[in-house]
Structure 1
Amino acid sequence: MMRTRPLKVALLGCGVVGSEVTRIMTTHADDLAARIGAPVELAGIAVRRPGRVRAGVPEELITTDATALVERGDIDVIIEVIGGIEPARSLITKAFENGASVVSANKALLADDGAALHAAAEKHGADLYYEAAVAGAIPLVRPLRESLAGDKVNRVLGIVNGTTNFILDKMDSSGAGYSEALDEATALGYAEADPTADVEGFDAAAKAAILAGIAFHTRVRLDDVYREGMTEVTAADFASAKQMGCTIKLLAICERAADGQSVTARVHPAMIPLSHPLASVREAYNAVFVEAEAAGQLMFYGPGAGGSPTASAVLGDLVAVCRNKLAGSTGPGESAYTRLPVSPMGEVVTRYHISLDVADKPGVLAQVATVFAAHGVSIDTVRQTGKDGEASLVVVTHRAADAALTATVEALRKLDTVRGVASIMRVEGE
Structure 2
Amino acid sequence: MMSPETIATHNLTQEEYAHIEELLGREPTMVELGIFSVMWSEHCSYKSSRVHLKRLPTTGARVIVPPGENAGVVDVGDGWCAAFKVESHNHPSFIEPFQGAATGVGGILRDIFTMGARPVAAMNSLRFGSLDHERHGRRNRALLAGVVAGIAHYGNAFGVATVGGEVSFDDTYSLNPLVNAFALGLVRHDQIFFGKAEGVGNPVLYVGAKTGRDGIHGATMASAEFDDEALEKRPTVQVGDPFLEKLLLEACLEVMRSGAVAGIQDMGAAGLTSSSCEMAARAGNGIELDLTLVPQREENMTAYEIMLSESQERMLIVAHKGRERQVVDIFKKWDLDAVVIGRVTDTGHVVVFHHGEKLADIPGLYLTDEAPRYQRAMSAPSGGRWSGVGGQEIKVE
| Superposition TM-score tier, normalisation by shorter sequence | under 0.3
Give the structure-2-normalised TM-score: 0.24
Give the structure-1-normalised TM-score: 0.23
| Rg (Cα) greater in structure | 1
